[in-house]
Structure 1
């Protein structure tokens, strides 16, 4: 945008980006102002523009601005996660740097250092937060390019936290018996999680009306609610139907009896919304769960289905995974092929014959 100052008689060129003025220069002659304006617009169009003055803003200042700008535009959980990741894991030395000075070398050093103390999946989540931060900096024209895109998280040794560790049959039965002595109500919820493979937040958000009986006993999983946050869509964003196997149908019927369709299916003993911390304290989870997490009930459900020869596509749908490939990547080593079964049977017959 070109305009002539009536007082100084000079030409002012102003550049706007997404409705916000990002830079301005004054010139003696209109042709110089027009050329400068054209150069800036070309740089913007080719993603090569940056304001050297804006680049002097520190990383800490951009983090503060980033957190404030997203309040009310993303979920509270996302906001809290990104704020905590950036506050706890970005070192003070890096925070004092101008944002334009934070390049791939600094980021690679950061992720490598974090991997020495943190699990691989945790470092990936921290990288996701820094990715969002630097995307914001690009949008605000503080920098011309997001350097995080050029720095994947090294493999590291922390990938072991991805290991699936479902309960064994004996571990689960021992735990459930011990937990029934402490809280029969919450032990029912443990059994329901094991039979359905639900995530904790999905269990919390279930309503009485989500229990259906046609064409078979099932629950319709529509939403999720993490402790301390508002209700939202499920992780995959899809509604799914999960069959009520084992004692799950009886458990659902018992807690739905005489209640309105819109009421929560599972609540605390006082009728309040479930809270994960209170749930585990009531069950004395640390003492009864053989070192397992509550999430391992989901793994136990999935691996049990696979061992019962439920096909991978159906298991993926029941779990609510975004893709079947995710289910394969997570549980493939728990799947036995028909060829495996036939080979094992041949070995057994051969050994039985040899021993005869």
Structure 2
């Protein structure tokens, strides 16, 4: 097996006259024994021959199995590994990269960045998790934990760690958010919030409730996406903004386009809206607003033009952050959904009242309302899952099973009907039961 131990203090061959090995120029300097000659493994020195022998045996075994990891590679601090090796190799789209970077640089690097990769163990994770949960909600902590686990998994693949401590530890687990049922609005609440919006923005509520669109999908919906003759809406893109405030178009969440049925009454509302507020062409980069540096990036990011259904009074695309602050929250306040918590203050060059924050009452609640309406009407989970663009029907069930009260009742009614009838033991002639029934009287005779 490859590999050997070199004594750095003595020459390899003994003196011909004395028969003893003579001292080298390194006598008494540094560690005496060096392990060498293992393919793909850097040399390593030790104070004693016993330590060298043990490490050589382990290195040979691990190398044969393809599991060798040099502890020195794991000495790199976590922050240095992230900044110089892991993050530059990422190719996430801005909509994913910006929030990911924010969480890593705000909640991982400041607290674990100086720790060497090899020193991140259960005790370190336990202390970090406890401190993390004092700063952010458990749902956010779970996402941050996943980011850290992804980083450490990459370190394993890079040969810097033997195993991922986030997965290997049995005493510390990922934070688990409290299970919350998706919230849906009643018809009066939807109507009240809709009435609190500017006339040109009320169609946004209709698109959310009537099609289950996410906010970015509603703001990126084009007039050409509406097929009034076929009665369907093609959800092909969403409008996003990167961390530098630059807008761009990209595919819907998960990269999944879809078709959603368009009801006749909703179609009439959309047509009326377009008659009063004609769509406006908007040209934006695709996938990434960064200037391309290669021909491939130029093709991938080639701008596209879309005649947007929803536009501002200045006939421009909608910035979701401004719209939430200046239009949505005031509408929630006017409808009594949230309370006012402060006086008027300048925001985005205008004046906006301050309202309490309520994540469950943001635009996404309209999507929940769409799902609840469909499921309570008895629509199949498969259809609703496809219309929502979920990865699988299981995702839909996880989020919206509580909107299906009729399913359990129908099954209960069927069983109740079963047991409500008198037993009718009519046994088929050719069945085993029939032969036994015929043989029993003969035996009694």
Same topology, TM > 0.5: yes
- Distance in 2 (CA, whole Å) between partners of 1:58 and 1:330 is 39
- Distance in 2 (CA, whole Å) between partners of 1:110 and 1:82 is 18
Counterpart of 2:266?
Answer: 248
1:296 pairs with 2:365: yes
8 Å CA contact retained: 1:255, 1:266: no
Q: Which deviates further from its counterpart, 300-309 or 138-147? A: 138-147
1:153 pairs with 2:183: no
Residues 248-277 of structure 1: CA distance to partner in whole angstroms, max 9, x if unpaired? 313433438676784233222223222112
- Distance in 2 (CA, whole Å) between partners of 1:91 and 1:250 is 53
Higher helix share: 1
Counterpart of 1:209?
Answer: 224
- Distance in 1 (CA, whole Å) between partners of 2:268 and 2:67 is 63
Alignment of 1:191-202 (within 5 A): 191-202=206-217
Counterpart of 2:333?
Answer: 287
Counterpart of 1:55?
Answer: 74
8 Å CA contact retained: 2:280, 2:308: no
- Distance in 2 (CA, whole Å) between partners of 1:40 and 1:108 is 31
C-alpha RMSD over aligned residues: 3.5
Alignment of 1:243-282 (within 5 A): 243-245=261-263, 247-253=265-271, 254-255=273-274, 262-280=306-324, 281-282=326-327
SS of residue in 1 equivalent to 2:150: helix
Offset at residue 242 of structure 1 (A): 0.7
Bigger RCO of structures 1 and 2 (CA < 8 A, at least 6 apart)? 1
2:124 corresponds, among 82, 106, 120, to 106
- Distance in 2 (CA, whole Å) between partners of 1:258 and 1:153 is 46
Q: Which deviates further from its counterpart, 259-268 or 88-97? A: 259-268
Is the alpha carbon distance of 1:166 and 1:52 closer, same or farther for their aligned partners in structure 2, counting shifts above 3 Å? same
Q: Which consecutive unaligned segments of at least 5 residues does structure 1 have?
A: 1-11, 17-22, 28-35, 345-356
1:167 pairs with 2:188: no
Counterpart of 2:97?
Answer: 79
Larger Rg: 2
SS of residue in 1 equivalent to 2:333: helix
Count of paired positions: 314
SS of residue in 2 equivalent to 1:231: strand
Alignment of 1:300-311 (within 5 A): 300-311=369-380
- Distance in 1 (CA, whole Å) between partners of 2:334 and 2:168 is 45
